[in-house]
């Protein structure tokens, strides 16, 4: 039951969201190697798994309705991403999410296309009722999930700051965190707000780069009870690695290979020393 | 209706197919960032999206039958590729194509396996009746689509020049362009013929490299009313980038990363200066 | 009929499993360019095709039930991998395997998740009855296939030497070879045992790296009648290339690009000179 998970969360001290807490979360991710079940889109599957592996987590793409619920009770975290939906993959998600909630497994919702595409907008609304630990999307998707606009395909047509009130409202409803990606990433749990301005423009020129960050947030949610800390640690690590990669690459192709290298090489002390909060 | 699209096309001046026209099309692609809906195979999905992003276009992999027709009316171009077909993905294509035709959205058909594999050969024939703006395939696929041979898996067993008469005949039937890939790419709209001899052998050692070129042709078809110019501009840009990448890479793995970099870096004036028509 | 295939195998001399035999198999793979039909998971599809292309084989991802059996009679080898199963992809496998057996086409089974996930464990058991030419898996999967444990997601929780008795028993039942991956790869045809200790830890940090090796084993099984030699030649080439890549890369992202380059560049004489048997 979600209640168990909430109760546990209340009993544990909430970390301050400073550089040390982010670095400590990153350290725990690398040490514990959480098993992350990914129900994600066809475009981002391989990159998401590779990001998890580079970070030290263990991905498992178990998404058939025949196994998804069973496995959600064994995984350390679950990622649900609504890109490239099929009837069967949506049934898999409909099995995995209650399985995660029942087991107290944290889960991340990435509502690709919410607001802009009717079918999956309805699915995203239904999933909201299961109170995702973290919601991750671009500004248009977060606005769409809150009942507003919706973007143009996978790209946002809104700025992240414009989605912050909706993000706070959604976080209030779910009891989790909401992360709005953009030039400056805006993250909130309804009360606290974290702004992170790292990253590189080539992140928007690599397909599935945002989806893979959602997978990394799921991995971090397995090693801290604070959803905002999980979302912020994943964002900080990913966007700091992207800064390094952007500075040493020639274009988006060499950038994505380098991003995996730099995530792999990112030590907790580098994260603590470089992140600007 | 297709009629609208045809009418618009007739009213606009036809560009001469010289280096400046190709460069101008490439420039417009980068400026306008067309939204390209891709209904494509599992193998080529990520590379196709990354090629579009590197070129400056905006990919959207919307292929569920529940959303494909709706979205084809909003996209700037549609790519239909018959690789790795499923029942559901073929239903998505059956929705998207009439949606594109009704909205006057240009669309590209990549008839992977046509002629060699019975199920999809039939589907390819049906799609021909919807008059694709551009058909892109290897020689065996174009011959197969015209009622002839058919290749061995994804590879062509015929030379592109042998498929030129069939390509001209198909272009006459559709009113669009047909692009036959090979060591020398052969492109025609039934009347004009363009030969482009750029590229690199490693393009045949990277899975989905041809499929991704089809996606780039779709993007170009959104920024010119001349299907042959769209196909030629995409081919020129892609194969010129491949030449650069081939000269600076160690093998097919570093080549594909470099190909995305070099597409991203390819300025219209480089294209104009280097292309041999 | 399987009988044909077995009969042919008996009539041909069995190569000794020395360095020259491995190099000779690698040479034949590069010369003959076998057509390998892959029915594999969504995560590993592109990498598997790229590994086959880098090695000089010709991949064809024909997995729809409508074409899988037809094509298994035309391909030179078939790869069956149980990752990311869908109802339709499992039907495709159920068509392809009897098609391969009837035509005497060698086929490889990669029983991803066997033992750990109930649905596909049952499917893997059924497929065993069709006597795969090669079974490839990590220790947990091979133990699971033999009726024992089962791992945690895609990762093994057992060491390869612990799975060797089960591997020998399975090879005895199928008449083929079984390859257990690990720090030291353990391969057997029930009688002979081959140990190969090449490779690099980053192979475990790249998604689908094991699955792609299964595809390469299928390619090798098309050019020798000795299943153990096919499995060993593929393993040697792949892990030797990985050693080179590991020594020249910065992390798992640059490693996988380099792995494709180094496979492409690996000459038979390098393989013969470097492999330790």
Rounded to whole angstroms, the Cα distance separating A68 from B5 reads: 46
Helix (H, G, I), strand (E, B) or coil at C42: coil
Contacts of C71 in chain B (CB under 8 A): 117
Please answer whether residues B61 and A83 qualify as being in contact, where contact means their C-beta atoms are separated by less than 8 angstroms. yes
Rounded to whole angstroms, the Cα distance separating C216 from C213 reads: 5
Query: Worst-scoring range by mean pLDDT, A8-22, A45-59, B256-270?
Result: A8-22
Helix (H, G, I), strand (E, B) or coil at B180: strand
- Can you tell me the ipTM of this complex? 0.92
Nearest to C88 among B42, B86, B252 (CB): B86
Q: Residue C63's Cα: distance from chain center in Å?
A: 17
Scanning chain C, the segments in alpha helix (DSSP H) are 2-11, 19-32, 45-55, 68-72, 87-103, 118-128, 139-145, 164-174, 209-221, 227-248, 252-265, 268-274
Q: How far is C237 from chain B (nearest CA, A)?
A: 16
Share of chain A above pLDDT 90, in %: 88
Question: For the segment A74-118, what is each residue's pLDDT rounded down to a tens digit?
Answer: 999 999 999 999 999 999 999 999 999 999 999 999 999 999 998
Question: For the segment B259-277, what is each residue's pLDDT rounded down to a tens digit?
Answer: 999 999 999 999 999 999 9
Average pLDDT of every residue of chain B: 93
State residue C2's pLDDT score.
Answer: 38
> Are B67 and A251 inside 8 Å of each other by CB?
no
Residue B158 has pLDDT above 90, yes or no: no
Between residues A214 and A148, the one the model is more confident about? A214
Contacts of A117 in chain B (CB under 8 A): 62, 67, 70-71
Helix (H, G, I), strand (E, B) or coil at B175: coil
Rounded to whole angstroms, the Cα distance separating A233 from A245 reads: 18
Contact of A264 with chain C, judged by CB distance below 8 Å, is answered with yes
| CA nearest neighbour of A231 among A241, A249, A216 | A216
State residue C147's pLDDT score.
Answer: 84
Give CB contacts under 8 A, 24+ apart, made by C185-191.
C185/C160, C185/C235, C185/C239, C186/C160, C186/C161, C187/C228, C187/C231, C187/C232, C187/C235, C188/C164, C188/C228, C189/C226, C189/C227, C189/C228
| CA nearest neighbour of C106 among C134, C82, C126, C70 | C134
Question: For the segment A184-193, what is each residue's pLDDT rounded down to a tens digit?
Answer: 999 999 999 9
Q: How far is B202 from chain C (nearest CA, A)?
A: 9
Question: For the segment B206-224, what is each residue's pLDDT rounded down to a tens digit?
Answer: 999 999 999 999 999 999 9
Contact of A257 with chain B, judged by CB distance below 8 Å, is answered with yes
Question: For the segment B166-202, what is each residue's pLDDT rounded down to a tens digit?
Answer: 999 999 999 999 999 999 999 999 999 999 999 999 9
Contact of B153 with chain C, judged by CB distance below 8 Å, is answered with yes
The DSSP bridge partners found for residue B58 are B35
State residue C152's pLDDT score.
Answer: 59
pLDDT band at A150 (very low <50, low <70, confident <90, very high): low
State residue B241's pLDDT score.
Answer: 98
Please answer whether residues B194 and B188 qualify as being in contact, where contact means their C-beta atoms are separated by less than 8 angstroms. yes
Q: Which fold has domain B2-184+202-274?
A: 3.40.1190
Residue B14 has pLDDT above 50, yes or no: no
- Residue B28 burial (10 A CB sphere; 0-12, 13-18, 19+): middle
pLDDT band at A147 (very low <50, low <70, confident <90, very high): confident
The DSSP bridge partners found for residue C77 are C36
Average pLDDT of every residue of chain C: 93
Please answer whether residues B150 and B144 qualify as being in contact, where contact means their C-beta atoms are separated by less than 8 angstroms. yes
Share of chain A above pLDDT 70, in %: 91
Strand B77-81 relative to strand A77-81, pairing: unpaired
Question: For the segment C50-82, what is each residue's pLDDT rounded down to a tens digit?
Answer: 999 999 999 999 999 999 999 999 999 999 999
**Token pair belonging to A277:** 């909060």
Q: Which fold has domain A2-274?
A: 3.40.1190
Q: What is the mean pLDDT of residues C77-88?
A: 98
State residue B2's pLDDT score.
Answer: 38
Contact of C88 with chain B, judged by CB distance below 8 Å, is answered with yes
Helix (H, G, I), strand (E, B) or coil at B64: coil
Mean pLDDT comparison of B115-119, B144-148, C232-236, highest-scoring range: C232-236
Residue C7 has pLDDT above 60, yes or no: no
The DSSP bridge partners found for residue A60 are A37
State residue C160's pLDDT score.
Answer: 94
State residue C157's pLDDT score.
Answer: 74
CB neighbour list of residue C169: distance below 8 Å, 6 or more residues apart: C146, C190
Contacts of A43 in chain B (CB under 8 A): 45-46, 49, 61
The binding site of A for ATP comprises 136, 181
Please answer whether residues C93 and C83 qualify as being in contact, where contact means their C-beta atoms are separated by less than 8 angstroms. no
Please answer whether residues A174 and A131 qualify as being in contact, where contact means their C-beta atoms are separated by less than 8 angstroms. yes
Q: What is the mean pLDDT of residues C72-95?
A: 98
**Token pair belonging to B102:** 């009704």
Rounded to whole angstroms, the Cα distance separating A115 from A122 reads: 9
Nearest to A67 among C119, C205, C207 (CB): C119
Contact of B154 with chain C, judged by CB distance below 8 Å, is answered with yes
Query: Worst-scoring range by mean pLDDT, A6-20, A248-262, C130-144, C191-205?
Result: A6-20
Please answer whether residues C106 and C96 qualify as being in contact, where contact means their C-beta atoms are separated by less than 8 angstroms. no
Contacts of C54 in chain B (CB under 8 A): 205, 251-253
pLDDT band at B204 (very low <50, low <70, confident <90, very high): very high
Most distant CA pair in chain A, distance: 49
> What's the Cα-to-Cα distance from A7 to each of A12, A130, B130, B135, rounded to whole Å?
9, 16, 59, 59
State residue A152's pLDDT score.
Answer: 59
CB neighbour list of residue A16: distance below 8 Å, 6 or more residues apart: none
State residue B15's pLDDT score.
Answer: 47
Chains interfacing with A (3 or more CB pairs < 8 Å): B, C
* Rama region for B168: left / alpha / beta (φ>0; ψ in -120 to 50; rest): alpha
Question: For the segment B51-108, what is each residue's pLDDT rounded down to a tens digit?
Answer: 999 999 999 999 999 999 999 999 999 999 999 999 999 999 999 999 999 999 999 9
State residue A2's pLDDT score.
Answer: 39
Between residues A59 and A158, the one the model is more confident about? A59
User: In this structure, what DSSP letter does residue C114 have?
Assistant: T
> Are C67 and B118 inside 8 Å of each other by CB?
yes
Query: Worst-scoring range by mean pLDDT, A146-155, A181-190, B46-55, C217-226?
Result: A146-155
Q: Is C208 annotated as a binding residue?
A: yes
The DSSP bridge partners found for residue A135 are A109, A178
The DSSP-derived string for chain A is -HHHHHHHHHHSPPPP-SHHHHHHHHHHHHHH--EEEEE--TTTHHHHHHHHHHHT-EEE----TTTHHHHHTTSSEEEEE-SS--HHHHHHHHHHHHHHHHHT--EEEE-TTTTTSHHHHHHHHHHHTT--SEEEEEHHHHHHHTTS---BTTB--S-GGGGHHHHHHHHHHHSSEEEEESSSEEEESSS-EEEE----GGGGGSTTHHHHHHHHHHHHHTS-S-HHHHHHHHHHHHHHHHHHHHHH-SSHHHHHHHHHHHHHH--HHHHHHH---
Size of interface A-C (CB pairs under 8 A): 97
Question: For the segment C135-194, what is each residue's pLDDT rounded down to a tens digit?
Answer: 999 999 999 999 876 555 556 678 999 999 999 999 999 999 999 999 999 999 999 999
> What's the Cα-to-Cα distance from B244 to each of A230, B199, B247, B248, B263, rounded to whole Å?
42, 9, 5, 7, 9
Return phi, psi of residue A23, to 5°: -65, -40
Helix (H, G, I), strand (E, B) or coil at B191: coil
Q: How far is C46 from chain B (nearest CA, A)?
A: 5
pLDDT band at C1 (very low <50, low <70, confident <90, very high): very low
Share of chain C above pLDDT 70, in %: 91
Residue A4 has pLDDT above 70, yes or no: no
Residue A267 has pLDDT above 90, yes or no: yes
Scanning chain B, the segments in alpha helix (DSSP H) are 2-11, 19-32, 45-55, 68-72, 87-103, 118-128, 139-145, 164-174, 209-221, 227-248, 252-265, 268-274
Nearest to A207 among B35, B46, B66 (CB): B46
**Token pair belonging to C267:** 């000459």
In this structure, chain A runs to a length of: 277
CB neighbour list of residue C55: distance below 8 Å, 6 or more residues apart: C29, C30, C216, C219, C237, C263, C264
> Are B254 and C259 inside 8 Å of each other by CB?
no
Contacts of B204 in chain C (CB under 8 A): 53
Residue C91 has pLDDT above 70, yes or no: yes
Helix (H, G, I), strand (E, B) or coil at C194: strand
State residue B155's pLDDT score.
Answer: 62
Q: What is the mean pLDDT of residues B229-253?
A: 98
Per-residue burial over A8-37, b = 16 or more CB atoms within 10 Å of its CB, e = otherwise: ebeeeeebebebebbbbbbbbbbeebbbbb
């Amino acid at each position: 039951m979600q209640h168990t998970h909430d109760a546990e969360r209340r009993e544990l001290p909430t970390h301050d969201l400073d550089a040390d807490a982010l670095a400590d979360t990153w350290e725990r991710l690398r040490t514990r190697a959480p098993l992350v079940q990914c129900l994600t889109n066809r475009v981002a599957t391989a990159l998401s798994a590779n990001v998890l592996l580079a970070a030290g987590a263990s991905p498992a793409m178990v998404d058939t309705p025949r196994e998804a619920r069973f496995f959600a009770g064994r995984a350390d975290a679950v990622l649900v991403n609504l890109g490239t939906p099929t009837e069967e993959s949506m049934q898999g998600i409909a099995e995995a999410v209650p399985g995660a909630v029942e087991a107290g497994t944290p889960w991340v919702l990435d509502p690709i296309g919410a607001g802009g595409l009717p079918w999956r907008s309805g699915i995203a609304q239904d999933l909201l009722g299961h109170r995702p630990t973290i919601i991750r999307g671009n500004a248009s998707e977060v606005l769409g999930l809150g009942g507003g606009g919706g973007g143009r395909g996978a790209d946002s047509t809104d700025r992240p700051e414009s989605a912050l009130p909706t993000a706070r409202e959604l976080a209030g409803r779910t009891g989790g965190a909401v992360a709005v990606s953009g030039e400056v990433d805006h993250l909130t749990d309804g009360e606290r707000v974290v702004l992170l301005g790292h990253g590189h423009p080539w992140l928007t020129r690599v397909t599935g780069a945002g989806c893979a960050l959602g997978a990394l947030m799921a991995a971090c949610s397995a090693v801290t009870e604070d959803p905002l800390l999980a979302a912020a640690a994943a964002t900080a690590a990913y966007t700091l690695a992207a800064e390094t990669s952007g500075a040493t690459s020639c274009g988006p192709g060499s950038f994505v290979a380098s991003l995996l290298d730099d995530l792999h090489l990112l030590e907790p002390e580098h994260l603590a020393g470089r992140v600007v909060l």
